[in-house]
Amino acid sequence: MIIHGDSIEKLKELEPNSIEALVTDPPYGLGDTSPTAVAECLNSWLSGSTYNPKGSGFMNKAWDKWVPDPALWREVYRVLKPGAHGLVFSGSRTEDLMSISLRLSGFEVRDRLVWLYSSGMPKNFDIAKGIESKIRFGSSNQNIWKKLGGEVLARENGRARFNYRHGSGSKVYGDGYIKKSELVTDEAKRWIGFGTCLKPSYEPIILIRKPLMGSIVDNVAQFNTGGLNIDGCRIKTDGHTSLEGKQGRWPANFLLDDSVQDSSIQRYFFCSKPTVAEKTAGLNNNAMHPTTKPIDLMRYLCKLITPPNGTVLDPFAGSGTTLCAAALEGFNVLGVERELEYVRIAEARLAHWSGGAYEPSTPTDTKPTIKTGDQLNLF
């Protein structure tokens, strides 16, 4: 079931100690993480207050200004059963804040998983081009002609060519961007090849647990939570998991993109980023959420921490990938999403991947009738 609304409010309507697992991909908080902002945040959190960040985050999305507040995680903590595990994605440069927020809400941080992939694109600023733009046009913006509104002369191969007169000088022609071949100042040439960021190739996943009530044995007996499904997630030597219960390698806290073919690391779980076809399956308008995770990966994570017949909670449901994955594994699903456009996407994707067994109005204790793997060729 998918609930439309703000997570912190909707979670208050749920019974305490009622849910077995948390798998979620929350906002990474890729906004203003300056030392001043971080200090203000920590002071607010330690005093029990909510931190109100300024600006916007990833792709100028307001919901990504900061990582979720401890107040939100406290509601998650309340509804999870003692011993219940959670897997929380985070950004590589804001993992510390995410971890602190989770700790302050009461969770134990048990481990960190790393999902490694090869398809990330660096959001780099070319320093040499920035210097060239600053010297020649008074602005460090590298698509200077576009910014200054030059007249479009023509279009060649789908790209516009601009006519721009700088001061009283002659006209400058270009396609809107400064190229390396157009670097003419010595100051800029000194910095050719220098940039501002690395290529992103991994995302951390924080493994947390609500503290046990008594011993691990007592907790499992009373609440059906507290353990990890080790055998169900063992890795065959070809890099795939064993669904037949056969022994394989112990599941590790390192998850790899399946484009890596080195036989020496075939002991790890492999999963690439999702294709467009996977993201849009079941959608009529091909609308997509900007941070969709692969279903294979989320299936593996759900299976790792969710006991049989358990419910998987995702308070940041987004496009519904976690819910689709949990449904394919036969678990009960409960997602909360604030943005209505994403709720509609999640509903359509969940109906598609569950074979129609999970409709938006379906109670969370109704399981799909499909067999694991019918909708997705997993592992």
Would you place residue 356 in the very low, low, confident or very high pLDDT band (cuts 50, 70, 90)? confident
* Per-residue pLDDT tens digits for 289-308: 666 788 989 999 999 999 99
> SS3 sequence, 282-327?
CCCCCCCCCCCCCHHHHHHHHHHHCCCCCEEEECCCCCCHHHHHHH
Would you place residue 285 in the very low, low, confident or very high pLDDT band (cuts 50, 70, 90)? low
Beta-bridge mates of residue 88: 24, 206
Q: Which domains, and CATH codes, for the chain?
A: 2-28+67-121+199-353 (3.40.50.150), 127-189 (no CATH)
- 272 versus 117: which is more confidently predicted? 117
Q: Quick one: pLDDT at residue 355?
A: 82
| pLDDT of 375 over the 70 cut | no
Share of the chain above pLDDT 70, in %: 73
- The helix-helix angle for 95-104 and 70-79 (nearest 10°) equals 50
- 240 versus 378: which is more confidently predicted? 240
Arithmetic mean of pLDDT, 252-281: 69
User: Up-side HSE of residue 46: CA atoms within 13 Å toward CB?
Assistant: 7
Q: What are the residues whose beta carbons fall under 8 Å from the beta carbon of 98, sequence distance 6 or more?
A: 26, 28, 29, 67, 68, 88, 90, 91, 206
Q: Quick one: pLDDT at residue 246?
A: 59
CB 11, CB 77: distance < 8 Å: no
| pLDDT of 172 over the 90 cut | no
CB 330, CB 367: distance < 8 Å: yes
Arithmetic mean of pLDDT, 123-131: 86
Put the strands of the sheet holding 171-174 in their side by side order. Answer: 151-156, 159-165, 171-174
Q: Quick one: pLDDT at residue 177?
A: 61
Q: Quick one: pLDDT at residue 79?
A: 97
> SS3 sequence, 97-144?
HHHHHHHHCCCEEEEEEEEECCCCCCCCCCHHHHHHHHHHHCCCCCCH
- CA 122 to each of CA 125, 301, 310: distance values in angstroms, whole numbers, following the listed order: 9, 27, 39
Q: Quick one: pLDDT at residue 131?
A: 86
* Per-residue pLDDT tens digits for 300-347: 999 999 999 999 999 999 989 999 999 999 999 999 999 898 899 899
- Least confident range of 105-109, 120-124, 216-220, 364-368: 364-368
Q: Which residue from 149, 144, 124 is spatially nearest to 133, judged by alpha carbons?
A: 144
278/54 Cα distance (integer angstroms)? 34
Q: Quick one: pLDDT at residue 302?
A: 97
Q: Quick one: pLDDT at residue 371?
A: 33
